[in-house]
């Protein structure tokens, strides 16, 4: 039993009583203690709560109680998901020190399944970014190369997995914030169908795009976690009232004979790093060997997805972030008895929000303002329709669609932080999925020749057919593992531990 | 000509209730101009015959039975507030501003 094992192996060792959850939890805290000065994946560690949960699971197991498959396994929680009495900041100064008075539905489900929540992970402020550099609490570093970004917004969760600080994590994905961090850290991340996982207690950025999902080091681990967090929730008015497809069985099937896989023509070429395209094409060749049928599909409107996204998401965020008003929770600045409410609100939001958040609030306010609404927000909504139609046509011809997850491997910290447009381009291949509300997965498909950094392979499946991406992902992962002879993270440089 | 002026950005910041220094405004006006130049591409394909999509699902209003269920206590609801008084949110002065 090692902290490098899969969550499924840890769960098996726990079930056989080879290790207790308290021991397993402590091993992960030791790894965090020795590596997180370098990585900065965690914003808060809830040792008391985690060890109490671990102890409870151990007691139940000793008493012979029936437990959930992942009971006793540790997890890292993205700091955008509220957990009762545990500080939740969303990577923002405006929420520093705030302790939510309730659990999100995802957290309730994790707790009920006996999963041990180690702490809260770092992220771009309010999930706006692709590098975790927009966190008010400093950037997270990629375990493959500490001078590089771990992706974003969920860079804390992906780095924690790649640094073996946790075998499971929760992310949220509005334009790629689960899949892009997974791609650049050699881990697995899944954005489920919109509405498959409850948004109750997920701090809203862009409500029509936000979706929480599982992050892990293997496809099966992601499926096991997916099964725990998915399902109808009456507390979320956009929750889908249907049974969750059997993603665990799909991940275990390892058979893609006759599965029709569409390669999206538009998600390649200009702007895509050579090594990324090579590894993607090698993965396609593996799928052919496994008996899958490859077809090329054209989605001409994907070209406009990025532009539409950077109108829709800021528009929704300008409305959602109005709740940070210095009145009901979080920061209040300048309330010295001489200033009125509006001035205090203005000063609080100036001091509490970072540059990217302000940029998006202003952009959204503009796109929604009278006189510009039709030209910007209205046009973006039409593009959304066209993207949905592209997907519908493509899925009429194939079971899943595939592409590289990101155009490049992990870039250097600071390289793009002063160029918003260059930063936004990271999401070019992940955004269409959010616009249509369908499922998307990223799993590692090799190391780019130029820089020996991980490359992500994206699989997209129609709404509520999330099992299809697990089917293809599981089979591809097994084929690649047989080729490499060891998991991709075994190729990463050894972490030296804290300086 | 710039797509957006510094004065327009200042007005948006006022509407969004965010104070901004002169430096912030200068910087943001330039960035906004570049970003708007890029995102206006959506207009190329947004013809009149395309219906807008605001949400991936058909969103309906969801109601529940009017039955009392456990919820947060007043103390819990106020627990994150910067200032409270008499079981209420205490706010800075809202009347008498210019």
Task: Give the model confidence (pLDDT) of A426-475 as tens digits.
Answer: 999 999 999 999 999 999 999 999 999 999 999 999 999 999 999 999 99
d(CA A22, CA A200): 29
CATH number, domain containing residue A474:
3.90.1300.10
pLDDT at A285: 98
Domain count, chain A: 1
Q: Which of A92, A177, A206, A403 is catalytic?
A: A177
Full residue range of the structural domain in which residue A90 is found: 7-303+383-491
Q: Is the pLDDT of residue A15 over 50?
A: yes
Inter-chain touch A307–B39, beta carbons under 8 Å: yes
Is some CB atom of chain B closer than 8 A to the CB atom of A138? no
pLDDT at A158: 98
Task: Measure in Å the smallest separation between the Cα of B4 and chain A Cα atoms.
Answer: 10
How is residue A3 written in tokens?
């902290």
For A194, the closest chain B residue by CA position comes to B56
In a domain, residue A96? The reply is: yes
pLDDT at A84: 98
How is residue A493 written in tokens?
């440089």
pLDDT at B91: 94
Contacts of B15 in chain A (CB under 8 A): 365, 369
Does the annotation count A177 as an active-site position?
yes
Q: Is the pLDDT of residue A496 over 90?
A: no
Q: Is the pLDDT of residue A494 over 90?
A: no
Is some CB atom of chain A closer than 8 A to the CB atom of B50? yes
A 95-114 residues inside an 8 A Cβ radius of B: 98-102
pLDDT at A280: 98
A 350-369 residues inside an 8 A Cβ radius of B: 350, 353, 358-359, 361-363, 365-366, 369
Average pLDDT value for residue range B24-47: 95
Average pLDDT value for residue range A246-258: 98
d(CA A51, CA A482): 37
In a domain, residue A216? The reply is: yes
pLDDT at A81: 98
Contact between A188 and A442 (Cβ < 8 Å) = yes
In terms of residues, how long is chain A?
Answer: 499
Contact between A264 and A297 (Cβ < 8 Å) = yes
Is some CB atom of chain A closer than 8 A to the CB atom of B70? no
Inter-chain touch A437–B56, beta carbons under 8 Å: yes
Average pLDDT value for residue range A87-109: 97
CB atoms within 10 A of CB A382: 24
- Considering only the beta carbons, identify the residue of A195, A332, A385 that sits closest to B50: A385
Residues A264-298 pLDDT 10s: 999 999 999 999 999 999 999 999 999 999 999 99
In a domain, residue A260? The reply is: yes
Q: Which of A198, A233, A176, A208 is nearest to A313 (CA)?
A: A208
pLDDT at A238: 95
Q: Is the pLDDT of residue A415 over 70?
A: yes
Does the annotation count A78 as an active-site position?
yes
Q: Is the pLDDT of residue A498 over 90?
A: no
Contact between A58 and A21 (Cβ < 8 Å) = yes
For residues A209, A213, A219, A225, the Cα torsion angle rounded to the nearest 10 degrees is: -160
Average pLDDT value for residue range A218-247: 97
Q: Is the pLDDT of residue B37 over 80?
A: yes
Average pLDDT value for residue range A81-100: 97
CA-CA-CA-CA torsion sign (A168, A177, A272, B46): positive
d(CA A239, CA A241): 6
Contacts of A437 in chain B (CB under 8 A): 55-57
**What fold, for B1-44?**
Histone, subunit A (1.10.20)
Residues A117-169 pLDDT 10s: 999 999 999 999 999 999 999 999 999 999 999 999 999 999 999 999 999 99
Contact between A76 and A28 (Cβ < 8 Å) = no
Is some CB atom of chain B closer than 8 A to the CB atom of A271? no
d(CA A119, CA A224): 20
For B41, the closest chain A residue by CA position comes to A307
In a domain, residue A370? The reply is: no
Q: Which of A68, A153, A239, A315 is catalytic?
A: A153
For A318, the closest chain B residue by CA position comes to B16
A 470-499 residues inside an 8 A Cβ radius of B: none
Q: Is the pLDDT of residue B98 over 70?
A: no
Which pLDDT band holds residue A499 (cuts at 50, 70, 90)?
very low
* The model's pTM: 0.97
In a domain, residue A350? The reply is: no
Contacts of B64 in chain A (CB under 8 A): 234
Residues A161-220 pLDDT 10s: 999 999 999 999 999 999 999 999 999 999 999 999 999 999 999 999 999 999 999 999
Inter-chain touch B40–A101, beta carbons under 8 Å: no
pLDDT at A12: 98
d(CA A73, CA A69): 9
Scored b (16 or more CB within 10 A) or e, B72-94 reads eeeeebbbbbbeeeeeeeebbee
- If you compute the radius of gyration of chain A from its CA atoms, what whole number of angstroms results? 21
Q: Is the pLDDT of residue B55 over 90?
A: yes
């Amino acid at each position: 039993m090692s902290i490098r094992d899969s969550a499924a192996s840890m769960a098996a060792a726990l079930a056989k009583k080879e290790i207790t959850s308290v021991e397993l939890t402590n091993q992960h805290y030791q790894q965090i203690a020795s590596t997180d000065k370098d990585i900065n994946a965690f914003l808060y560690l809830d040792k008391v709560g985690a060890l109490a949960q671990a102890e409870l699971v151990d007691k139940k197991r000793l008493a012979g109680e029936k437990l959930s498959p992942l009971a006793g396994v540790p997890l890292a929680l993205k700091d955008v998901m509220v957990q009762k009495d545990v500080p939740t900041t969303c990577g923002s100064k405006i929420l520093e020190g705030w302790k939510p008075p309730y659990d999100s539905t995802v957290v309730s489900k994790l707790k009920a399944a006996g999963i041990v929540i180690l702490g809260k992970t770092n992220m771009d402020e309010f999930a706006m970014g692709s590098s975790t550099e927009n966190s008010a609490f400093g950037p997270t570093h990629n375990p493959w190369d500490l001078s590089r970004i771990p992706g974003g917004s969920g860079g804390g969760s992906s780095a924690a997995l790649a640094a073996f600080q946790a075998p499971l994590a929760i992310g949220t994905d509005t334009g790629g914030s689960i899949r892009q961090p997974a791609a650049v850290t050699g881990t697995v991340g899944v954005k489920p169908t919109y509405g498959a996982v409850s948004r109750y207690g997920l701090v809203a950025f862009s409500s029509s795009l936000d979706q929480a999902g599982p992050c892990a080091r293997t496809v099966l681990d992601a499926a096991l976690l997916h099964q725990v967090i998915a399902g109808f929730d009456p507390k979320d008015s956009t929750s889908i009232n249907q049974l969750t497809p059997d993603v665990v069985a799909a991940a275990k099937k390892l058979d893609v004979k006759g599965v029709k896989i569409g390669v999206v023509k538009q998600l390649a070429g200009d702007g895509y790093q050579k090594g990324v395209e090579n590894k993607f094409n090698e993965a396609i060749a593996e799928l052919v060997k496994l008996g899958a049928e490859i077809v090329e599909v054209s989605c001409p409107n994907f070209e406009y997805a990025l532009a539409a996204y950077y109108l829709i998401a800021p528009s929704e965020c300008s409305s959602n972030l109005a709740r940070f008003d210095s009145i009901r929770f979080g920061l209040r600045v300048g309330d010295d008895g001489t200033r009125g409410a509006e001035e205090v609100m203005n000063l609080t939001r100036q001091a509490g929000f970072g540059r990217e958040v302000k940029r998006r609030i202003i952009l959204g306010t503009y796109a929604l303002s009278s006189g510009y609404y039709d030209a910007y927000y209205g046009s973006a909504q039409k593009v959304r329709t066209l993207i949905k139609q592209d997907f519908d046509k493509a899925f009429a011809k194939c079971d899943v669609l595939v592409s590289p997850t990101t155009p490049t491997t992990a870039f250097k910290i600071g390289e793009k932080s002063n160029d918003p447009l260059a930063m936004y381009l990271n999401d070019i291949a992940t955004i269409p999925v959010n616009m249509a509300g369908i499922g998307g997965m990223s799993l590692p498909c090799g190391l780019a020749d130029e820089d020996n950094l991980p490359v992500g392979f994206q699989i997209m499946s129609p709404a509520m057919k999330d099992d299809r991406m697990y089917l293809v992902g599981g089979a591809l992962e097994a084929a690649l593992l047989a080729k490499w002879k060891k998991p991709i993270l075994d190729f990463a440089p050894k972490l030296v531990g804290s300086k | 000509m710039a797509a957006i002026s510094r004065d327009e950005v200042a007005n948006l910041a006022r509407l969004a209730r965010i104070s901004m220094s002169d430096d912030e405004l200068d910087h943001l006006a330039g960035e906004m101009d570049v970003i708007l130049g890029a995102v206006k591409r959506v207009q190329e394909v947004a013809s009149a015959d395309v219906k807008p999509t605001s949400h991936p699902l058909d969103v309906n209003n969801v109601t529940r039975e009017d039955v009392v269920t456990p919820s947060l206590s007043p103390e819990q609801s106020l627990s994150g507030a910067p200032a409270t008084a008499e079981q209420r949110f205490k706010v800075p002065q809202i009347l008498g501003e210019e």
